[in-house]
Structure 1
Amino acid sequence: MASVTSSRPYHIIIFGATGFTGQFVVEEVARCAAESPGGGSLTWAVAGRSRQRLEDVLKHAAGRLSMPELRTDIEIIVADVSIEESLALMCQQGLVILNCVGPYRFYGEPVVKACVENGAHYIDVSGEPQFLERMQLEYHTKALDRGVYVIGSCGFDSIPADLGLLYTQRQFKGTLTAVESFLEFRSGPEGSAGHDATWQSAVYGFADSGSLHKLRKKFGHKPLPVVGAKVKQRSFLFFSKEIEQYTIPFMGSDRSVVKRTQRYLYEEEQQSPVQYSPYVGIGGVFSVVKLLCGGLLFWVMVKFSLGRKLLTTFPSIFSFGMFTKSGPTMKQIEDNSFSMTFYGEGYSEGTDPSQGRPNAKICTQVIGADGYIVTASATVQTAVTLLNELHSLPRRGGVYTPGAAFYKTSLFERLSNRSLKFSVRNNQ
């Protein structure tokens, strides 16, 4: 574990510890600290706007984990995204800030700015492409100059997608050229639900989708080269033989995150880029009807301020119960799981990708528990990996995706030992 100087008393500070995701992160950090050599080499604190609510979170975690010492031994830092001085003071006390305060398009940048200016590394669980890419555009050079790492999207579902594709590349014997991933959710008898914060991110993200295209033009990137055969795009809705259910393109940040990783590996490591298309299963015919009706209503409503107000005020109604203000129950979380299956194709060793069609295939899979459990585990393990293997990260700072940042580290192994299972299903 990296040493902590007298001016930086904490390895990790969890900002937004009172939020739905933040509470799971608190418990995971507590577990990791208890498991570290001597039981106390990983030092940490919680931060947020309300001291009372932070005390309640520590009390709840102490009860669930049977660690009464959390109520007295863990420091509380009061910090607010609207008060720049409080963020600066927070960042000056920690080596890594885990930012769990979303939606990030509204609350993320002040924390990134404070981390860069005060020399603290930054990690978040954002699934918002516009925020993630804008932070890269505006803060990469500043972070590089300050020796600070800013690493977004370190939770579910971007970690399984980004690292899952890198795992597939490593397992493929030859030149992997294209991958499709299929995300499936498995729920217990009580079903599943997402938290309101995720729903809000989706509402505002779709409403402002035009800005993302303008943002990407500012990078001035040349298109990544297409190696081998170009993959044909599937229709918006189709029945997938791979997972035997109706399927649509995944609308989250996975494609954005993976493409940024592939660009980094192509430009910095001279690796052959992989075409990537993520999909998610939605179920049977009844689910298709709900999607079409709900999706049409959603697309109309996000275009107007009143519509967005209604969507964010009544998430359960307009998402058909998929998202709620309270989020999933602990029983739902304990019963839920996911799988992400990667179908790749390419050219076997010794085959020239410029000649003919792909002649080799591979199928890999990443499986894990509920997304909130995976998010907490993945976020904490990225922080621990950063603290322990700083020498293996790219350059000396900057804004990166998880795959780009941790490509040469033991993060794969750390996650495999805790929350995710990577496997090869077949290799033809």
Structure 2
Amino acid sequence: MASVRTSSSRPYHLVVFGASGFTGQFVVEEVARTASEAPRGNLKWAVAGRSKQKLEQVLEQAASVLGKPELRTGVDIIVADVEEPDSLAAMCKQAVIVLNCVGPYRFFGEPVVKACVENGAHHLDISGEPQFLEGMQLNYHNQASDKGVYIIGSCGFDSIPADMGVLYTREQFKGTLTAVESFLTVKAGPEGGCIHDGTWQSAIYGFADSHKLQSLRRKFNYKPLPSVGTKLKRRGSLFFSNEIQQYSMPFMGSDPSVIKRTQRFLVEEHQASPVQYGAYAGIGGIGNVIKLVFAGMLFWLLVKFSFGRDLLAKNPEFFSFGLFSKAGPTRKQMEASSFRFVLYGEGYTEGLDPSQGKPNGKICTLVQGPECGYVATPIAMVQAALTILNEASDLPKSGGVYTPGAAFAKTTLIERLNKHGIKFSVI
């Protein structure tokens, strides 16, 4: 089995694919920042994408932002295109791990996963698209397992804080943790903030295709997960949360789907008892609620029709009240933003039988960090990659398609994140 330990034959430990994209440029900066922490401080890495000229510009920008002139000439460039399988194969043969930043993944993700599996490179992405993530598991898990290749999805803000946060909460709870609800709040600075249009595009096609996700899930033939303790009640689509003292709604990202897959893995592989999960996001006061209801109704109406999807795709700022934009946030906006992700867990304290009575123990944990989309996401992705390079023996015993929680449960990923500004703590 090809493992990370026999990687010296490949010229690069990491290749950042899609390095000139909006998120890719920040992943490049994060790799450059942390390169000195690799084993023996000699992380070899390269950038890849369609345009050599744009990749040169990204290295130029990283060199001036970080004050590292050596980046201009010291980092190799690989020209590779999702539309050209041979170029992807050539890229994957040179990499121990491909950091894939080319989204929306439902359109561009699979060729890269396929090339990684066939050419023995591990693959990390930052997708928040359940249909893509679960589709890759269905189609490539066995092949990746045979090759000893790890395909680990959602290694960005979706879904490392949530997935590792649930594992952390379980570890800190003395007894059997049965359920967790998480509440995300995002704080912007005086200049406000926004999210790059790529996430908006993923959302448009994700909602339009939601029926396909249901039929995909039926193909797994899963038995329902055993439930322990009281069944977790789902909250309404809009409610006032006493926990965070603001109006809240279900979190629309991939966290619930990713965590369910992790819990299933832990039940099947390690006979752990599963944790039920509910994910919510704070939206603030009544003014935001009115905007959100209005924008949500328009979105639901338009997303059902192809002309509506085109309208939404072309005018993200208008239809999202400025929450999404084609330009993305400025560096100043990013520096002033942060997130808080609070997890409320309940369960049975040590010595109590989970099949008897109601849960009697509670725990509250916190994951907090910098701006989530373009500061925390690159940190999470790069630390996940360094974990694979440094802790190969603590990954699941065979390759395959995994969630972050399934892949990194036995590693020091949480400690690594703590050192890089994404902090896990018990409140």
Query: TM-score over 0.5 for the alignment?
Result: yes
In 2, Cα distance between equivalents of 1:66 and 1:231: 50
User: Which residue number corresponds to residue 201 of structure 1?
Assistant: 202
Structure 2 partner of 1:384: 386
Counterpart contact for 2:266–2:272, Cα < 8 Å:
yes
Kindly provide the amino acid, as one letter, of the partner of residue 173 in structure 1. K
Residue 30 (structure 2) pairs with residue 28 (structure 1): yes
Number of aligned residue pairs: give it: 423
Identity of aligned residues (%): 65
Task: Give 1:34 deviation, angstroms.
Answer: 3.0
Amino acid aligned to 1:312: A
Q: Which residue of 2 aligns with 1:175?
A: 176
Q: For residue 136 of structure 1, what is the aligned residue in structure 2?
A: 137
Q: Deviations over 1:369-407 (max 9, x none)?
A: 001111101101111110111111112200000000011
The amino acid across from 1:201 in the alignment is S
Hey, what does 2:185 align to over in structure 1?
Answer: 184
Deviations 1:83-106 (A, max 9, x none): 000000000000000000000000
Partners of 1:305 and 1:235 in 2: how far apart? 29
Paired amino acid for 1:204: Y
How far off is 1:13 after superposition?
0.1
Quote the offset at 1:192 in angstroms. Answer: 1.0
The 5 A counterparts of 1:113-152 are: 113-152=114-153
Choose the corresponding residue for 1:14, options 12, 16, 40.
Answer: 16
Q: Which amino acid aligns with 2:45?
A: W
Aligned positions of 1:195-234 closer than 5 A = 195-234=196-235
Determine the C-alpha separation between the residues in 2 that align with 1:192 and 1:73.
34
SS of 1:178's equivalent in the other structure is strand
Amino acid at match of 1:86: S
Q: Partners in 2 of 1:230 and 1:184 — Cα distance?
A: 25
TM-superposed deviation, 1:234? 1.2
Check the 8 A contact 2:192/2:333 in 1, yes or no. yes
Does the alignment pair 1:103 with 2:104? yes
After TM superposition, list the pairs within 5 Å mapping 1:273-312 onto structure 2.
273-312=274-313
Decide whether the 8 Å contact of 2:11 with 2:94 is kept in 1: yes
Question: d(CA) in 2 for partners of 1:3 and 1:357?
Answer: 50
* CA distances 1:317-360 after superposition (whole Å, capped 9, x unpaired): 00100000010000110000000000111111111111111111
Question: Secondary structure in 1 aligned to 2:219?
Answer: helix
Question: 2:425 matched to 1:423?
Answer: yes
The alpha carbon displacement at 1:249 in A equals 0.4
The aligned residue for residue 92 of structure 2 is 91
Q: Does 2:387 match 1:394? A: no
The whole-number CA distance in structure 2 between the counterparts of 1:253 and 1:29 is 25
**Aligned partner of residue 219 in structure 1, secondary structure:** coil
Instruction: Choose from 398, 413, 416 the match for 2:415.
Output: 413
Look up the match of 1:244.
245
What are the ranges of 5 or more consecutive residues in structure 1 without an aligned counterpart? none
Q: 1:305 to 1:265 in 2, by over 3 A?
A: same
Aligned partners of 2:97 and 2:124 also within 8 Å? yes
CA RMSD of aligned residues (A): 1.0
d(CA) in 1 for partners of 2:409, 2:37: 25
Matches of 2:39 and 2:126, distance apart in 1? 27
Separation in 2, partners of 1:224, 1:127: 23
**What is the alpha-carbon distance in structure 1 between the residues aligned to residue 229 and residue 40 of structure 2?**
52
Q: Deviations over 1:255-312 (max 9, x none)?
A: 0000000000011011110110000001111111111111010001000111100111
Task: Say whether 1:272 aligns with 2:273.
Answer: yes
Kindly state the Cα deviation for residue 157 of structure 1 after the two structures are TM-superposed. Answer: 3.0
Q: Tell me, which stretches of 5 or more residues in structure 2 are unaligned? A: none
Specify the SS of the correspondent of 1:71. Answer: helix
Partner Cα separation in structure 1 for residue 221 and residue 338 of structure 2? 39
Q: Paired residue for 1:5?
A: 8
1:146 CA displacement = 0.8
Distance apart, 1:2 and its partner CA: 4.7
1:334 maps to 335
- Whether the 8 Å contact between 2:129 and 2:254 is mirrored in structure 1 is yes
Query: Which residue number in structure 1 is paired with residue 53 of structure 2?
Result: 52
